Amino acid sequence: MAIFEGAGVAIVTPMHEDGTVNYEKMGELVEMQIAGGTDAIIVCGTTGESSTLSHEEHLDVIRYVIEKTAKRIPVIAGTGSNSTETAVYLSTEAEKMGADALLLVSPYYNKATQSGLKKHYSLIASTVSLPIILYNVPSRTGCNILPETVAWLVKNVKNIVGVKEASANIEQIAKLMSLAGDDIELYSGNDAEIVPIMALGGKGVISVMSNIAPRQTHEIAQTFLDGDVKKSCALQLEAIDLIEALFCEVNPIPVKKALNLMGMEVGPLRAPLFDMEEANTLRLAKAMKDYGLL
């Protein structure tokens, strides 16, 4: 049984103006997502600014979201790192807290060979019993997990069950599915590719757009799962301008701005990320208005 099917939100981490985590606001976001039909919450991923959270903050945010969600929908904890030792520590702590699954980004900056990736992921998996979703986002990490490597991991490591694919390489993803097939739970890591990836056998999306449009993002995926591919495709295309605006600057700059434009007051970003350029803010606001969010 899949960890989830449909649309999971890669949730932002709201901050106070002084840069500390705003837990009260995080609770509001969790409730907004559940009320909007979101199928899972992915906490402390890229969109959650995990790279600038301390280890203590990282675990505190995971703990808070697990407790607030209270098993109403699955919580998938982002516990990956470019350090295998750190990933083991975060993963084992998240399991103790009651996370439903883990999301492990590929090692960034120092990267790894494909053989090294097998050892890295196998070692982390051996320390926990939770199901694990790999996260392939080479544009950010500089490290591409090749289809053969992903297929080997899901076939040989019992609790590595899936991958969030954000390579934007449909040919590579098709190759992966030809190798792994029913052994893998595939999720789109790009909001613009929900329908194409589900057409290849994907279970849904781990979404940035869902932060501001949970009901609509869920509907794109659920309509496909219900068998109405034509309607799902139409909904996907209707959202394209908004999706492009949400990625006109590096994630999560635009999505945090979008939430603030909606009056959600999720606060600032942590350096080295800073506020959006004015022209891009205007573009984002227009796309949100055209989509019915403002």
Alpha-carbon distance 220 to 216, whole Å?
6
Alpha-carbon distance 31 to 39, whole Å?
12
Ramachandran class of 286: left when φ > 0, alpha when ψ lies in -120 to 50, beta otherwise: alpha
The values of phi and psi at residue 236, to 5°, are -60, -50
Strands annotated E in 106-232: 132-136, 160-165, 185-188, 204-207
**Residue 288 identity:** M
Structure letter (DSSP) for residue 122: H
Token pair recorded at residue 236: 């996907």
Closest Cα to residue 213, out of 147, 274, 290, 145?
290
Structure letter (DSSP) for residue 192: G
Strands annotated E in the chain: 6-10, 40-43, 75-78, 101-105, 132-136, 160-165, 185-188, 204-207
Alpha-carbon distance 244 to 45, whole Å?
20
- Give CA separation, 81 vs 33, 120, 170, 190, in Å: 26, 10, 25, 21
Alpha-carbon distance 117 to 146, whole Å?
10
- Please classify residue 114 by burial: count the beta carbons closer than 10 Å to its beta carbon, then call 0-12 exposed, 13-18 middle and 19+ buried: middle
C-alpha atoms less than 13 angstroms from C-alpha of 102 in its C-beta half-sphere? 30
Token pair recorded at residue 114: 């494909």
Active site residues: 135, 164
